[in-house]
A and B are shown apart, each in its own frame.
Chain A
Amino acid sequence: MNHIPMRMHAPSIRPQKLTRRAIAKQQTREKVLQAAREMFVERGYEGATIRDIARAAGMSTGAVFASFADKPELFDAILSDDFAALLAPMRAAASMAPTDREALVAKFGAAYRAHGAQLPLIQAALAASWTRTPEAEKLRREAMRPIRSLVTEVLERAVERGELATRFDLRLVSDVIWDLYLAGYRPAAFEGLPVEAQTARLAERIDLVLASLKVQAA
């Protein structure tokens, strides 16, 4: 098992000693993030300008730029926060699952549920993922690592318990499943597929992949 130290971006967790100035800075940042999230969900990535976001946060565009270098950075900060906030519900959803396969499906189901209310944001995120700069991409990958490891964790445990065989590299299996999870946002965004159906659809695809790893009866 690899345990990666988690850097939480969630607003509730703060370093202990902060100067008044640092606290004010942090509060501005959070106000910007809050306003930006609403704007992105409402107008999409292209439609939300820094000017709109500043106005919604009740501050100047200059104040927004003091916290974030540009719109992509602001957008990525929101995504990182969102995915960090997903860890707990994903874990909780999996804790009740009787099998590893169901744990995997439950984790993704929790993610789909949490994102259901802000599909435009996810759509924008998926669109952006094809044209990010390498530096931005590196940061994003770092932020996603704890979530990605939730998938690998389940697969490793299933192998340990003998539920799955190790004929294939688990990293490969994990990547294929992750891509299927991401691909599952498309029918939700474009065809209005409800969360339950979206999760069931993913479950079918996960089963197809896991069929290759089934331990064959002797």
Chain B
Amino acid sequence: MAGVRETQKQGTRRKVLEAARDLFNEIGYEESTIRAIAERAGVSVGSVFTTFASKADVLSQVMDDRVEALYAELDRVTRHLRGTTCDRVCSVFAIHYDFECRRVKLFLAHIAASFSPSLDASTIPYGRNSRFKGMLIDLLADGVERGEVRADADLELVLDTLMASYAWNYRLAAQQAADATAMTTIMERQVRLIFDGLKA
């Protein structure tokens, strides 16, 4: 019996996550109530709360699921990236912009929520994604080996500087409805600026 209940619970969870993902992206995070999410998923409000602690928790799980798909894609691609370290770093950012812009309103809600002072312990806010960072650190370390990046460069510092640019460029999507191509173009200029100071 426990097995059936578990299956049901998983089914509810999946339905809620899909409904929330679409609703957040269509009408925005603030405007999406738990009631509306439950209605769209065809489940009761109570059953949403048996699986998730809060709306913020739902959002963080939605984002977490999406990330799985993105990294499956990236893991395949990164080995085949060509060009200089700088080019390859630009490509990784381009893939991220492209992916997040498919549901950009959802992603903006995710960033906005990460500034909330009242995060649940279970939620994973934007900016704690270690796979993204790990991928870039590997590329930078590789750049040192290839002699393209100064050996004494503080890679964590470089990473953090790149990530600040990457994240704040989403403002262009929020405020000027910029698309992935526009953000990638600007990011490329920023990455080149930062890399210029890193030359070996």
Instruction: Give me the interface of A with B, judged by CB distance under 8 Å.
Output: 44, 120, 123-124, 126-132, 134, 137, 167-169, 172-173, 175-176, 179-180, 182-183, 186, 189, 204-205, 208-214
* Contact A212 B196, beta carbon cutoff 8 Å: yes
How many interface residues does chain B have, given as a range?
35 or more
CA distance A209 to B174 in the complex (A): 25
What's the Cα separation between A175 and B112 when bound, in Å? 20
Contacts of A167 in B (CB 8 A): 196
Pick from B158, B171, B193: contact of A176, CB under 8 Å: B193
Chain A residues whose C-beta falls within 8 Å of the C-beta of B113 in the assembled complex: 127
CA distance A120 to B118 in the complex (A): 11
Q: Which of B32-40, B138-146, B160-168 contacts A (4 or more CB under 8 A)?
A: B160-168
Question: Contact residues of B with A, CB < 8 Å?
Answer: 28-30, 108-109, 111-113, 115-118, 127, 154, 157-158, 160-161, 163-165, 167-168, 170-171, 174-175, 189-190, 193-198
CB distance from A154 to the nearest CB of B (A): 17
Say whether B117 contacts A180, CB under 8 Å: no
* CA distance in complex: A216, B61 (Å): 49
A210/B115 contact (C-beta < 8 A), A131-B174, A137-B175, A183-B164 known: no
- A132 to B174, alpha carbons, bound, how many Å? 8
Asked if residues A130 and B111 are in contact (CB atoms below 8 Å), the reply is: yes
Instruction: Report which residue of B117, B161, B174 has the largest number of chain A beta carbons within 10 angstroms of its beta carbon.
Output: B117
Neighbouring B residues of A173 by C-beta, 8 Å: 193
